[in-house]
Structure 1
C-alpha cells in the first residue's frame, strides 16, 4: 500500500500527482537563493505542480579539496528558513553528520541523506528522531531492494515520514546508469519514490577535479521516471549553470523547467488516470 507523506501544503505519494523538488545545488548567496526560489515556485505554480525548494548549506562530498562547499550551516539554515516563510513552500537540505540534524530540522521540512551516506546508521537514526521528513538517496553502489533495510533504520525511530530517491547506479568509471526497474522495486516498500533526474546524468569525477555530466538527458530520464509512476522528480536548476560552483554540468537552466513540467504533467496524468 502506498504511503502518503504530508509536508505543509504538499502531499507526496506514488499514486498522487507528482511533485517537483528543485533549486540550486548549493546556497551561493541569500539573493541568489531567493531569486531562484521565486522563479521556480512561479514555474511550478504556472504548470500546476506542487513544489519543494531544495538547496544545500554544505556540499561535503566534493571531488576535490578545492571544490566550493557552500555558505555553512548557520547562514544557510537562516536563508532556507526565509525561503519557507516568504514562499510558503516546503524546504529540503542535505545533512552530513548527526550533529547537524536538530538545527536543520528546526529550519527546514525535509532532511536529505546524501547517497554516499545512505548506510550511515547513526546519521539515519538521528535524522529520524527529529520527526522531520527524511529523504534518503540510494547509494550508487546499492541495489534498489537494499533500500528497504535503509528505510527500516529510519522507521525504527517511530518516524515513517520517509522518501526514497533513485539517482543512478555506478556503471564503470565516471559513469552512472538509471535502471527504471528500481523505481517500482523501491515503491514496494510503500514509501514515496523520488527520481533525481539531474544527478542521474552526472559523470562523477569526470572532469578530473570536478564532476561532469550531460544535462541534456535529464529531461529525458525525468519523462521516463514519470511514466514509471514516481511520486516526485528531483531536478536541480540554476540561472547560469555553466558558472555554478558545483554540479553545473547537470543542473537545468531555469528556462527549461516550465516546458519540462508541462510535458511531465501530461505523462503523469495519463499514467495515474
Structure 2
C-alpha cells in the first residue's frame, strides 16, 4: 500500500475504506458522518479515508445541487482531517483546481469521465498528493495503464485506481470483476467503488437512480477477487441527501457490511 498521510495501517492484510457522503452538504452533516465512521473503523481496525466532494460538476440537470461553495466545503474537509485524524479525498474537475484542493486534502480524485484528461492528471500529479483515478465507464482495466503512466511520468508514483463499472445499455452499469485484476497488474492499489457502480444514470426525470440493495453483493465480490480497498458513499438519511441518495448506503448499515467483508478478506488471505 502506498503511503497516505494519516492512514493507519493497523493490519497489513486488511482492505482500506474510502467512505463518506457524496457531497459536502454542510459542516454538521460531515462531522456527524465522520465521527460515526471513525468509531466503526477504529473498532474493526480498518484503515479509512474520509470522502466528500467539495463540488459536483457532473450533474444531469442545471438545477441539481452542486455544492455549498468551494472554499467553504474544502475547509470542512480540512476540519474533518484535523478533528478526527483521518486523511481525506475529494474530486477535482479541471487542472486549475488541483493546487487549490491539495491545500486541504490528502488525496485528489479524478472522476471517471475525466480519467483520460492529460492536463488534469499531470496537474494532480505535480501537487505531490496521492492521486486516485476512477476508471472510465468506457474503458477496460488494461487501458488504465496510460493514466498511471501519465502520473508516474509527471514525477508522482502515488497512484490508486478505482473501478466504478462500465456503461451497459443506455441507463445502467455493469461490473466486470476482471478489471480489478487487470488494474492490479499495473502495480498500484485497486479500489472498488461499490455505490457508484450501482447507479442508473440519465433517468427520464433527470435524477440519477440506483440499486442500493446490491451494495453488499458488489462489495463482497470485490473483496473476494482481491480488491485492496472499498469505496462507499454513505449518509444518515440517503432519501434526503442532496446528491446520489438513490445509490448510497444508509450509515447505520455500514458496520454490519464491513464485518461481513472482514470475514471474506480473512478467508481469501488465509
Q: Same fold (TM over 0.5)?
A: yes
2:195 is the counterpart of 1:208: no
Partner of 1:39: 36
1:86 aligned onto 2:54: no
Deviation at 1:269, TM superposition (A): 1.4
1:11, distance to aligned residue in structure 2 (A): 6.6
Specify which of 176, 180, 183 is matched with residue 180 of structure 2: 183
Q: Which residue of 1 aligns with 2:96?
A: 99
**TM-score, scaled to structure 2:** 0.97
Q: 1:74, 1:25 → 2: CA distance?
A: 17
Report what 2:221 is aligned to: 224
Query: Which consecutive residues of structure 1, in runs of 5 or more, have no partner in the other structure?
Result: none
Choose the corresponding residue for 2:154, options 118, 132, 157.
Answer: 157
Does the 8 A contact of 2:22 with 2:244 survive in 1? yes
1:32-53 Cα offsets, whole Å, 9 max, x none, are 1011110111111222211110
- Aligned twin of 2:54: 57
SS of residue in 2 equivalent to 1:174 = coil
1:5–1:11 Cα contact (<8 Å) kept: no
1:216 is paired with a residue whose SS is helix
Q: Does 1:135 align with 2:132?
A: yes
Asked if structure 1 preserves the Cα contact closer than 8 Å seen for 2:8 and 2:48, the reply is: no
| TM-score (normalised: structure 1) | 0.96
Superposed displacement of residue 133, structure 1 = 0.3
| Distance in 2 separating the partners of 1:38 and 1:203 | 30
Q: Distance in 2 between matches of 1:53 and 1:9?
A: 11
1:114 to 100, 111, 116: 111
* Structure-1 separation of matches of 2:118 and 2:32: 36
The runs of 4+ residues in structure 1 deviating greater than 2 Å are 8-12
Counterpart for residue 248 of structure 1? 245
In 2: Cα distance, 1:222 partner to 1:16 partner:
17
- Quote the Cα distance in structure 2 between the aligned partners of 1:142 and 1:54: 24
Structure 2 distance, partners of 1:29, 1:152, is 36
CA shift for structure 1 position 207: 4.9
Tell me if the contact between 2:160 and 2:189 (Cα under 8 Å) persists in the aligned partners.
Answer: yes
- CA contact 1:201–1:250 (8 Å) conserved in 2: yes
Aligned residue for 2:103, secondary structure, equals: helix
Distance 1:161 1:208 in 2: 39
Once the two structures are TM-superposed, the CA of residue 229 in structure 1 deviates from its matched residue by 0.9
Instruction: Give, in whole Å, the separation in 1 of the partners of 2:134 and 2:178.
Output: 16
Task: Using the TM superposition, give the Cα deviation of residue 9 of structure 1 relative to its aligned residue in structure 2, in angstroms.
Answer: 3.6
Tell me the distance in 2 between the aligned counterparts of 1:7 and 1:183.
21
Cα distance, 1:187 vs structure 2:
0.3
- Aligned-CA RMSD value: 1.2
SS of aligned partner of 1:7? coil
Relative contact order (alpha carbons < 8 A, sep ≥ 6): 1 or 2 greater? 1
Question: Aligned residue for 1:77?
Answer: 74
CA contact (8 A) 1:215 1:251 kept: yes
How far apart are the structure 2 equivalents of 1:237 and 1:43? Answer: 13
Q: Deviations over 1:115-163 (max 9, x none)?
A: 0110000000000000000000001011111100111111111101000
Aligned-partner Cα distance in 2 for 1:164–1:90? 17
